[in-house]
Amino acid sequence: MMARLLAAWIALLPQAATARPAAIDLYYPQTGETLRVAVGHLPAPAVLNRFLRSPRDRRYTLMDPRLVAAALQAARQLGAARVIVVSAFRSREINEEMRASSPGVALRSRHLAGQALDLSLPGVPLQTLCEHFRARRLGGVGCYPTLGFVHIDVGPVRSW
């Protein structure tokens, strides 16, 4: 009897999950590309690494999949159908160019190692997104309201 109830419950789970979007789009305005990701799945590493490449010099590295998983989970839980990628991997040269024009860019940015992602979710207030990521304690969370994005990384848990 218990086994039948459990089997019936498991059979209902996929149906319940379809009440939310079956896929979420990752959109990278700097490249103009969109990557559709089925809920509960991550793209193959080669696809993800290329998609999250440095847009100006087209270099890429191995991205930490926890970043994309966290972004997709946030979109799903907060009701967004799209994740806007502001920045992902940065080559050392691009990071140095950015540091020269902005004192807030770190010398040893986690973007250099594929361990950081800057993003926003259309329709989700930035403060809500910041609080979501801070509660998850994945790593660092930086909120940039004037720039309109949240930084997440897989380093030590901290926030700014």
**Does residue 120 surpass a pLDDT of 60?**
yes
Q: Do 74 and 15 contact (CB within 8 A), yes or no?
A: no
The pLDDT value recorded for residue 18 is: 41
3-class DSSP assignment, residue 80: coil
Q: Who's near 134: CB < 8 A, 6+ residues apart?
A: 141, 159
The pLDDT value recorded for residue 107 is: 79
Count, residues in the chain? 160
Give the CA count within 13 Å in the CB-facing half-sphere of 45. Answer: 7
Q: Is the dihedral of CA 46, 117, 148, 108 positive or negative?
A: negative
Q: Which amino acid, residue 9?
A: W
**Does residue 1 surpass a pLDDT of 50?**
no
Nearest Cα neighbor of 68 from 97, 93, 92, 47 is 47
Instruction: Compute the average pLDDT of residues 45-53.
Output: 96
Instruction: Compute the average pLDDT of residues 62-83.
Output: 96
**Does residue 19 surpass a pLDDT of 60?**
no
Domain boundaries, the chain: 20-159
Q: Is the dihedral of CA 101, 56, 23, 7 positive or negative?
A: negative
Report percent pLDDT > 90 for the chain. 72
Query: What CATH class has 20-159?
Result: alpha beta
How distant, in Å, are the alpha carbons of 10, 20, 73, 138 from that of 28?
A: 36, 23, 18, 22
CA distance 155 to 8: 41
CA distance 150 to 44: 25
pTM: 0.83
CA distance 53 to 58: 6
pLDDT tens profile 106-116: 878 999 999 99
